[in-house]
Amino acid sequence: MSGTGIAFTRAGVLRGARAAAPLVIGTFPFGLVVGVISDAKGLSLLETWVMSGLVFAGSSQLLALELWTEPAPIAAATLAAFVVNIRMAPMGAALAPWFDRLRGIRLWGTLATLVDHSYAMSAAEMRRGGRDAGYLLGVGLALWCFWMLAVGIGHVFGSAVRLPPGHPVFFAAIATFCAILVPVWQGVRRDLLPWTLAAAVALAAWGAGLGAPWPLLAGALSGAALGAWLELRRA
């Protein structure tokens, strides 16, 4: 799609926010879990809100919380979050026809609220011929507002009911990453090779005694390298 005729209107923002309403049902419980785990890790409500508001990425937040100890491993958590969120780069490239026409706060505000759900909905909107980039910001802002609400409620709940170590809710981080594989799978058998290699390398690094986030980083890079090589060979 050419960038010609791309608009950014208030009507588009409102339409995106209304379209995001059904997604809240799925993301709200996720936010509750992040809030509960944040409280269990010793973060205050303000610290939890600051992290959630600035990062706004449930997967990387859960991963950072999984690594959280005293003293906090800032470098390790930052690197792990970077590895998980690098997937946002191709999403931005796919939405370039909209992004290329935005400037200033419209551009940076839209980028700051870009998540998997807003990308998927906006990509579908673009395929239908949509030319209002405000739609993307509307979806992202709606999800951000309800995410902050859910995280806050989860933190308050966690403060009222202390969960013991080993509680099933703390398995949320691993369960989340396993669930992400389901929509990614396209039924192509060759995709199993990079996934298998990534898992094997990560387990080997963990078995070798490497601490987080090195198993994750080693697995992600090896799987991505094999996937890229397979695509180049097929091309």
Q: What's the pTM value of the predicted model, to 2 decimals? A: 0.72
DSSP designation for 7? B
pLDDT of res. 2? 47
**Rounded percentage of the chain residues whose pLDDT exceeds 90:** 20
Quick one: which of 33, 95, 100 has its CA closest to 61? Answer: 33
What residues contact 64, with CB distance under 8 A and at least 6 apart?
A: 51, 55, 77, 80, 81
Residue 63 has pLDDT above 80, yes or no: no
In angstroms, the Cα distances linking 50 to 45, 92, 221 are 9, 24, 30
Average pLDDT over the chain, rounded to an integer: 82
